[in-house]
Structure formats: C-alpha cells, structure tokens
Amino acid sequence: MDLNQLAEHVTDSSEFVLPFVQIHLPKVFDFQLTRYMVLELIVAAAMLAIFIPYARRVAKGDPPRGRFWNMLDALLLFLRDGVARPAIGRKDADRFLPFVWTMFFFVLFCNLIGILPWTGSPTGSLMTTASLAGVAFCTVLGAGVAKFGPVGYWKSLVPRMDVGGVLGILLTPMIFGIEVAGLLIRHLVLAVRLLANIFAGHLVLAVIVGFIGWTAQAAFVLWAGVTVPSLLGASALTLLELFVALLQAYIFAFLSALFIGMAVHPH
C-alpha cells in the first residue's frame, strides 16, 4: 500500500470501492456525480427523515418519547440556549435558529458517515467545507444588510472614532479594509478548520491501518506484531473520531452564530 492508495480513503472520487465490486457513478447532464455528492444527498435525506416527523410532533405539542427523540430535543435546546441566544442575542437568535440547527446537524452527519466503512467524509473535502463557509458568509451578510441596510451595514464595520481632520480621513478607509479582510479571513478559517480536523483524522487512521498492508509480505511474527497494535490503535482513534465529529459540528455552528451576532450587533 503506497501513499496514493492511502489518499484514496480521504479524497473524493467518481466511484464507490466496495469489497469485490466497484460502483461507478454516472454523469447527469454531462455533470459527473462524485462519492461525496452522493453521501451529502444521503445525509440530507436522513435529516429530512428525522426532522420532518420531529417538527410535526412539536407542532402538535406532543412531548418527545424515547431515548433518541429526547436526545435530539436536548441537542436542539442546547444549541438554542447555549449557542444561538448567547452569540446572537435573545432578540434576534430565534430567526437564525433553523440555520444554526441545519449547519450543526449537516456537519455532524457528514462527519459521522465518514466513520462507516467504504464511504468517506464529505467534510474532508475543501469543496464541501468552503461551500458551507460560503453559505455562512452569505447568511452573515444577509443578516447585517437586513438590519442596517446595504450601505449601513458596511458603514457599521467601522467603529466610531473621536478622530477628525486628516487623521480621520486616513484611518477610516484603513480600518474599513482591515474589517472587510477580517470578515473574509474568518470564514476562510471556518472552512479550513473543519477540513483540517476531519482530513487529518481520517488520514492518520488510514496510515495506522495501512501498516497491516505494508507488513503483509513480511514474516508472520512481524505481521502479527504490527496487526494487533494497529487494530487497537485504529479502534481507539475511531472512538476519538466520534468525539471530534461532534466537537467540530459544535464549533462550526457556534462560530457561524458568533459571526451572525457580530453582524447584527457590531462593535
């Protein structure tokens, strides 16, 4: 097993490689479907299958019953009371709750699906994380523009300064440029942070398991001595990946809510 084979576990492709079979994905109107696209559609379908019945139950006023629905209800309330309202403010938070909830669970499900064998994690691709960060960026801009207007929002990026004359003329465009650059950099880091954590975890897991393949042609004693620690290490790392999947979904949702709060409550 070489580095190219290891990279296949953490990169997108146009096929699913299953035991004894390869499933080649078709083109749709000359647009090539990829493995991560299919997995994202599966995640979206899973979210619809979970949250539509949950929303209907809430609309009827029925309390959650069962461990799964109680856990889901607790997560949603935590995101509302521990993430959205503190970061955005109680007055504006409820308008953005659906966005925060959607971001959290979409990232979480994309992280978790990558732990399953022969799948892959869509959030291990820059295209996915950049798209999510782009959606967050547009939401932040929309929130600011909706509250202050197209011109007022950009003016709100510059804090009020008790500086006049030539110094004020010089400082205002400089601070505006810094604030705009910071706005872009924050969302770029949002994409890279998620990508780096998920990609690195899966790559390390692939390398640990790859040790077994590298020693397959060696003596049995060496192969057995490498296989047992590799399997134990991979099992432990998989448990850590479960924690990282939840943590990174929380961080992404929290930072998205924080950036929205910064837009609607500048300086």
- High-pLDDT (> 70) share of the chain, %: 93
**DSSP 3-state assignment of 259?**
helix
> pTM for the full model?
0.89
- High-pLDDT (> 90) share of the chain, %: 49
Cβ partners under 8 Å of residue 33, min gap 6: 14, 25, 26, 27
Report pLDDT for 101.
96
Residue 2: which pLDDT band, with cuts at 50, 70 and 90?
Answer: very low
Closest C-alpha to 258, from 112, 147, 152, 99:
99
Between 31 and 40, residue with greater pLDDT: 40
Cβ partners under 8 Å of residue 182, min gap 6: none
Please give the mean pLDDT across all residues of the chain: 87
- Angle among Cα 18, 22, 26 to the nearest 5 degrees reads 125
Between 116 and 220, residue with greater pLDDT: 116
* Residue 15, phi-psi category: left (phi > 0), alpha (psi -120 to 50), beta (remainder): beta
What's the domain count of the chain?
1
- Expressed as residue numbers, the domain containing 220 is 3-264
pLDDT exceeds cutoff 90 at 30: no
Report pLDDT for 236.
81
Residue 142: which pLDDT band, with cuts at 50, 70 and 90?
Answer: very high
- Angle among Cα 243, 247, 250 to the nearest 5 degrees reads 145
> DSSP H helical segments within 114-219, as ranges?
126-148, 150-156, 165-214
pLDDT tens digits, 63-82: 888 899 999 999 999 999 99
pLDDT exceeds cutoff 80 at 115: yes
pLDDT tens digits, 179-220: 999 999 999 999 999 999 888 887 777 777 777 777 767 766
